[in-house]
Structure 1
Protein backbone atom coordinates (compact mmCIF):
# COMPACT_ATOMS: atom_id res chain seq x y z
CA UNK A 1 0.00 0.00 0.00
CA UNK A 2 1.39 3.35 -1.03
CA UNK A 3 1.25 6.21 1.44
CA UNK A 4 -0.10 9.25 -0.33
CA UNK A 5 -1.67 12.33 1.20
CA UNK A 6 -5.43 12.64 1.20
CA UNK A 7 -5.56 15.70 -1.04
CA UNK A 8 -9.36 15.88 -1.00
CA UNK A 9 -9.39 16.24 2.78
CA UNK A 10 -6.44 18.59 2.67
CA UNK A 11 -8.05 20.96 0.16
CA UNK A 12 -11.49 20.71 1.82
CA UNK A 13 -9.92 21.81 5.10
CA UNK A 14 -8.10 24.71 3.44
CA UNK A 15 -11.30 25.84 1.70
CA UNK A 16 -13.43 25.57 4.85
CA UNK A 17 -10.94 27.43 7.02
CA UNK A 18 -9.29 30.00 4.74
CA UNK A 19 -11.36 30.34 1.57
CA UNK A 20 -15.06 29.54 2.18
CA UNK A 21 -15.98 31.93 -0.65
CA UNK A 22 -14.13 29.70 -3.16
CA UNK A 23 -16.00 26.52 -2.19
CA UNK A 24 -18.30 26.59 -5.20
CA UNK A 25 -15.47 27.30 -7.66
CA UNK A 26 -13.55 24.23 -6.47
CA UNK A 27 -16.51 21.90 -5.97
CA UNK A 28 -16.32 20.34 -9.46
CA UNK A 29 -12.74 19.20 -8.83
CA UNK A 30 -13.38 18.01 -5.28
CA UNK A 31 -16.40 15.99 -6.42
CA UNK A 32 -14.12 13.59 -8.32
CA UNK A 33 -13.45 10.23 -6.70
CA UNK A 34 -9.70 10.43 -7.42
CA UNK A 35 -7.73 13.61 -7.88
CA UNK A 36 -5.00 13.56 -10.50
CA UNK A 37 -1.87 15.63 -10.19
CA UNK A 38 -3.29 18.02 -12.77
CA UNK A 39 -6.43 18.43 -10.62
CA UNK A 40 -4.25 19.23 -7.63
CA UNK A 41 -2.33 21.82 -9.65
CA UNK A 42 -5.65 23.36 -10.76
CA UNK A 43 -6.95 23.48 -7.19
CA UNK A 44 -3.74 25.05 -6.01
CA UNK A 45 -3.98 27.67 -8.75
CA UNK A 46 -7.62 28.44 -7.94
CA UNK A 47 -6.92 28.89 -4.24
CA UNK A 48 -3.54 30.59 -4.26
CA UNK A 49 -3.67 32.52 -7.52
CA UNK A 50 -2.61 35.81 -5.93
CA UNK A 51 0.37 34.51 -3.97
CA UNK A 52 3.61 36.44 -4.18
CA UNK A 53 6.11 35.81 -6.95
CA UNK A 54 8.77 34.54 -4.56
CA UNK A 55 6.29 32.03 -3.09
CA UNK A 56 5.44 30.82 -6.58
CA UNK A 57 9.10 30.41 -7.51
CA UNK A 58 9.84 28.54 -4.28
CA UNK A 59 6.86 26.21 -4.70
CA UNK A 60 7.70 25.49 -8.33
CA UNK A 61 11.20 24.35 -7.40
CA UNK A 62 9.71 21.65 -5.19
CA UNK A 63 7.29 20.09 -7.66
CA UNK A 64 7.97 16.67 -9.05
CA UNK A 65 6.20 14.81 -11.82
CA UNK A 66 5.91 11.09 -12.35
CA UNK A 67 5.69 9.42 -15.73
CA UNK A 68 1.89 9.33 -15.91
CA UNK A 69 1.63 13.05 -15.13
CA UNK A 70 4.21 13.87 -17.79
CA UNK A 71 2.13 11.93 -20.31
CA UNK A 72 -0.99 13.83 -19.20
CA UNK A 73 0.80 17.16 -19.63
CA UNK A 74 2.06 16.18 -23.08
CA UNK A 75 -1.44 14.99 -24.04
CA UNK A 76 -2.78 18.35 -22.84
CA UNK A 77 -0.32 20.03 -25.19
CA UNK A 78 -1.43 17.88 -28.11
CA UNK A 79 -5.15 18.29 -27.36
CA UNK A 80 -4.93 22.07 -27.04
CA UNK A 81 -2.40 22.47 -29.87
CA UNK A 82 0.13 24.34 -27.76
CA UNK A 83 3.77 24.85 -28.61
CA UNK A 84 6.45 24.15 -26.01
CA UNK A 85 6.59 27.77 -24.84
CA UNK A 86 2.83 27.96 -24.31
CA UNK A 87 2.77 24.65 -22.44
CA UNK A 88 5.71 25.70 -20.28
CA UNK A 89 3.98 28.97 -19.44
CA UNK A 90 0.71 27.24 -18.60
CA UNK A 91 2.26 24.72 -16.20
CA UNK A 92 5.09 27.03 -15.05
CA UNK A 93 7.81 24.79 -16.41
CA UNK A 94 10.92 25.60 -18.37
CA UNK A 95 10.87 25.12 -22.12
CA UNK A 96 13.93 22.90 -21.76
CA UNK A 97 12.00 20.60 -19.41
CA UNK A 98 9.16 20.27 -21.94
CA UNK A 99 11.62 19.49 -24.74
CA UNK A 100 13.40 16.91 -22.58
CA UNK A 101 10.09 15.26 -21.70
CA UNK A 102 9.06 15.11 -25.35
CA UNK A 103 12.32 13.34 -26.19
CA UNK A 104 12.09 10.92 -23.26
CA UNK A 105 8.35 10.20 -23.46
CA UNK A 106 7.14 10.28 -27.08
CA UNK A 107 3.37 10.69 -27.29
Structure 2
Protein backbone atom coordinates (compact mmCIF):
# COMPACT_ATOMS: atom_id res chain seq x y z
CA UNK A 1 0.00 0.00 0.00
CA UNK A 2 1.25 3.46 -0.90
CA UNK A 3 1.89 5.91 1.97
CA UNK A 4 -0.37 8.43 0.25
CA UNK A 5 -3.31 6.03 0.67
CA UNK A 6 -2.90 5.59 4.42
CA UNK A 7 -5.53 7.51 6.36
CA UNK A 8 -3.57 8.35 9.52
CA UNK A 9 -6.36 10.57 10.82
CA UNK A 10 -8.79 7.66 10.83
CA UNK A 11 -6.24 5.30 12.35
CA UNK A 12 -5.52 7.69 15.21
CA UNK A 13 -9.23 8.45 15.70
CA UNK A 14 -9.98 4.73 15.98
CA UNK A 15 -7.13 4.19 18.44
CA UNK A 16 -8.31 7.11 20.57
CA UNK A 17 -11.94 5.98 20.44
CA UNK A 18 -11.25 2.36 21.36
CA UNK A 19 -8.22 2.44 23.66
CA UNK A 20 -7.38 5.99 24.78
CA UNK A 21 -10.58 8.08 24.97
CA UNK A 22 -9.07 10.10 27.83
CA UNK A 23 -6.38 11.43 25.45
CA UNK A 24 -8.84 12.53 22.76
CA UNK A 25 -9.00 16.16 23.89
CA UNK A 26 -5.20 16.44 23.82
CA UNK A 27 -5.04 15.27 20.20
CA UNK A 28 -8.12 16.92 18.70
CA UNK A 29 -6.31 20.00 17.34
CA UNK A 30 -3.97 17.84 15.26
CA UNK A 31 -6.75 15.52 14.10
CA UNK A 32 -8.81 18.50 12.90
CA UNK A 33 -6.07 19.61 10.50
CA UNK A 34 -6.85 19.12 6.84
CA UNK A 35 -3.55 17.34 6.21
CA UNK A 36 -1.28 15.51 8.67
CA UNK A 37 2.41 15.96 8.00
CA UNK A 38 5.01 13.37 8.96
CA UNK A 39 5.83 15.48 12.02
CA UNK A 40 2.14 15.58 13.00
CA UNK A 41 1.97 11.78 12.85
CA UNK A 42 5.07 11.51 15.05
CA UNK A 43 3.61 14.05 17.51
CA UNK A 44 0.27 12.23 17.68
CA UNK A 45 2.03 8.93 18.22
CA UNK A 46 4.02 10.41 21.10
CA UNK A 47 0.92 12.03 22.68
CA UNK A 48 -1.08 8.81 22.54
CA UNK A 49 1.51 6.18 23.38
CA UNK A 50 4.01 8.26 25.36
CA UNK A 51 7.77 8.11 25.06
CA UNK A 52 9.07 4.73 23.93
CA UNK A 53 11.88 2.81 25.62
CA UNK A 54 15.38 2.96 24.14
CA UNK A 55 15.12 -0.16 21.96
CA UNK A 56 11.80 1.02 20.49
CA UNK A 57 13.30 4.48 19.89
CA UNK A 58 16.21 2.96 17.96
CA UNK A 59 13.90 0.79 15.87
CA UNK A 60 11.52 3.67 15.08
CA UNK A 61 14.33 6.07 14.25
CA UNK A 62 15.81 3.71 11.69
CA UNK A 63 12.43 3.38 9.94
CA UNK A 64 11.43 7.03 9.62
CA UNK A 65 10.94 8.50 6.19
CA UNK A 66 10.55 12.19 5.42
CA UNK A 67 8.85 13.63 2.37
CA UNK A 68 10.07 16.78 0.65
CA UNK A 69 7.61 19.12 2.38
CA UNK A 70 8.68 17.83 5.81
CA UNK A 71 12.36 18.26 4.97
CA UNK A 72 11.70 21.84 3.86
CA UNK A 73 9.69 22.46 7.05
CA UNK A 74 12.60 21.18 9.17
CA UNK A 75 15.14 23.31 7.29
CA UNK A 76 12.93 26.39 7.61
CA UNK A 77 12.62 25.66 11.34
CA UNK A 78 16.42 25.69 11.49
CA UNK A 79 16.59 29.08 9.80
CA UNK A 80 13.76 30.59 11.88
CA UNK A 81 15.28 29.49 15.19
CA UNK A 82 18.91 30.13 14.19
CA UNK A 83 20.04 26.55 14.89
CA UNK A 84 23.18 24.90 13.62
CA UNK A 85 23.01 21.38 12.13
CA UNK A 86 23.85 19.68 15.43
CA UNK A 87 21.18 21.58 17.37
CA UNK A 88 18.58 20.83 14.72
CA UNK A 89 19.55 17.16 14.67
CA UNK A 90 19.10 16.93 18.44
CA UNK A 91 15.77 18.76 18.34
CA UNK A 92 14.25 16.45 15.70
CA UNK A 93 16.31 13.36 16.65
CA UNK A 94 17.81 13.11 13.18
CA UNK A 95 21.41 12.46 12.22
CA UNK A 96 23.39 15.64 11.66
CA UNK A 97 24.75 13.98 8.51
CA UNK A 98 21.17 13.73 7.25
CA UNK A 99 20.67 17.43 7.98
CA UNK A 100 23.84 18.27 6.03
CA UNK A 101 22.68 16.14 3.10
CA UNK A 102 19.27 17.84 3.10
CA UNK A 103 20.84 21.31 3.24
CA UNK A 104 22.95 20.49 0.17
CA UNK A 105 19.93 19.11 -1.72
CA UNK A 106 17.30 21.64 -0.68
CA UNK A 107 19.36 24.76 0.05
CA UNK A 108 17.86 26.74 -2.82
CA UNK A 109 14.30 25.63 -1.99
CA UNK A 110 14.26 26.14 1.81
CA UNK A 111 16.44 29.20 2.20
1:73-88 equivalence runs, <5 A? 73-88=74-89
Q: CA deviation at 1:47?
A: 1.9
Q: Residue 13 of structure 2: SS of its match in structure 1?
A: helix
Unpaired segments of 5 or more residues in structure 1?
none
Q: Deviations over 1:42-63 (max 9, x none)?
A: 1122223322111111011111
Aligned pairs, number: 106
Query: Which residue is equivalent to 2:31?
Result: 30
Q: CA deviation at 1:34?
A: 1.4
1:53-92 equivalence runs, <5 A? 53-92=54-93
Q: Residue 50 of structure 1: SS of its match in structure 2?
A: coil
Matched, 1:45 2:25: no
CA RMSD of aligned residues (A): 1.6
Alignment partners' CA distance in 2, 1:4 and 1:90: 29
Alignment partners' CA distance in 1, 2:38 and 2:85: 20
* Greater fraction of residues in helix: 2
Runs of 4+ in structure 1 over 4 Å off: none
Alignment partners' CA distance in 2, 1:92 and 1:48: 18
